[in-house]
Amino acid sequence: MSMRVTQNAVTTAMLAGLQANKAELSRLQLQLSSGRQVTKPSDDPVGTDQAMQYRTEIARANQYQRNGNDGLAWLGTADGALQSGVAILNRLRVLTTQAANTGASDANARTAIAAEVDSLKSDMLGLANTTYLGRPIFGGATSLNAAYVKDPATGLVSYQGDTGKVTRTVGSNAVVQVNINAADAFGSPGNDIFTTFDQILNDLKTNPTNLTNDLVGIQASLDRMTNAQSIEGAAYNRINNMINLAGAHADTLTGNLSDVENVDTAKAATELTMQQVSYQASLAAMSKVLQLSLTDFLR
């Protein structure tokens, strides 16, 4: 039996076609106006999985850069302190050499030198207590506001910080220590830079002949401090690299995310034009076919 074609069947079929056309048209228009091709998980479940992972990773990469920049500021503060420390030690060496050579016979000159050495010691104490955002940078993880404290009675300086590490996470599994241990920069407590200062001050007053030996201690402190500078410089470079890496990673991921989520505008616009043509064609066909009826030809 051949299929009977009725008005209703034609209308239903044509309406279904028109609606499919219109749905596709509206989908493309929505894509173009929102700029996104994945607006809900069912648009692309695999893409959604990727997009969600990318978003998490991008948030991490941005945070790694924040962490890194904070670490750089910390290290920059340490760098300034260590440079000044080297300058102080150089001046101390000049003064000690001077005292050892000429001051042995001149008590007045030694007293003047001792006064300057004492003020250098205070400067060094100030440096050792340098803070970043209120935290003493050479105090380890201590919550006290100074790494070294001077006994007002004896004038002896002692370490009150701890050996805790201050680290910054600048990548997955990339943890960089940003603080310089007090022992690395100033020597281990009991035999540190302040002991050297006290020894020199003592020798200037009572035992000038020993000043030549003190130069050895000064050199050791200088070596330690320049070494600390290189540790600090290495950490600085490492963090810098990691920040660049995290930045590049975030850029790549943002690109990937855009590939997954965003509309290829040229493609969508072309599809939209094609869809409009086909929608117009079906509208035209519908108006032509539905007009035809036997009524037109009967008198």
Partner 1 sequence: MGTEFGTIGTALSALQAERKALEVTGQNIANASTAGYTRQRAVMTAVGGSVIPAMYSKSDGVGAGVNLTDVQRLQDAFLEQRGNTENGTLSNLQSMQSTLSDIENSFGEPGDGGLQALLSSYWNGWDDVANNPGDAAARTALIGTAQSLATGLNVAAGSLSSQWKSSRESLQSIVNNVNGTAANIASLNKAIVAATSAGNHPNDLMDQRDLLIRQLSTQIGATTRVNSDGSTDVFVGGSALVSGSLSRQLTIGGATAVDQATTNPVSLSWADTGQVVNTASGQVGGLLNALNSTIPSYASQLDAVAAQLVTSVNAQQGAGYDLTGAAGGAFFDPAKTKAANITVTLTDPNGVAASSQPPALDANGNPVVSLDGSNAQKLANFSGTGADALYRQMIVKLGSESQSAQQKVTTQQSVVQQIQQSRDSAAGVDLDEEQTNLITYQQAYNAAAKFLSVLDSVLDTLINRTLV
**Contact set with partner 1 (CB under 8 A):** 3-9, 12-13, 16, 38, 40-46, 48-49, 51-53, 55-57, 59-60, 62-63, 66-67, 70-71, 133-135, 141-144, 158, 160, 162, 164-169, 172, 175, 261, 293-295, 298
CB of 137 to partner 1, least distance (A): 11
Nearest distance, CB of residue 277 and partner 1, angstroms: 23
Pick between residue 49 and residue 264 the one whose CB is nearest to partner 1: 49
270 with 28: CB under 8 angstroms? no
Q: Which is nearer to partner 1, 74 or 197 (CB)?
A: 74
The backbone region for 165, taken as left when phi is positive above 0, alpha when psi lies in -120 to 50, beta otherwise, is beta
DSSP states along 60-116: HHHHHHHHHHHHHHHHHHHHHHHHHHHHHHHHHHHHHHHHHHTTTS-HHHHHHHHHH
Provide the minimum distance between the beta carbon of 71 and partner 1 in the complex, in angstroms, as a whole number.
Answer: 8
Comparing CB distances to partner 1, the nearer of 119 and 143 is 143
31/265 Cα distance (integer angstroms): 9
Comparison of 12 and 111: residue with beta carbon closer to partner 1: 12
CA distance 176 to 29: 49
Pair 146, 125: CB distance under 8 Å: no
Question: Closest CB to partner 1 among 3 and 266?
Answer: 3
Q: In angstroms, give the least distance from the CB of 117 to partner 1.
A: 27
For partner 1, the closer CB: 134 or 152:
134
Nearest Cα to 193, choosing from 93, 116, 75? 93
Q: To the nearest whole angstrom, how small is the minimum distance from the Cβ of residue 52 to partner 1?
A: 5
**Residue 164, helix vs strand vs coil:** coil
Closest approach, Cβ 290 to partner 1, in A, equals 11
- Single-letter residue type at 250: A
Cα separations in angstroms, 167 against 67, 72, 162, 236, 244: 9, 11, 15, 12, 18
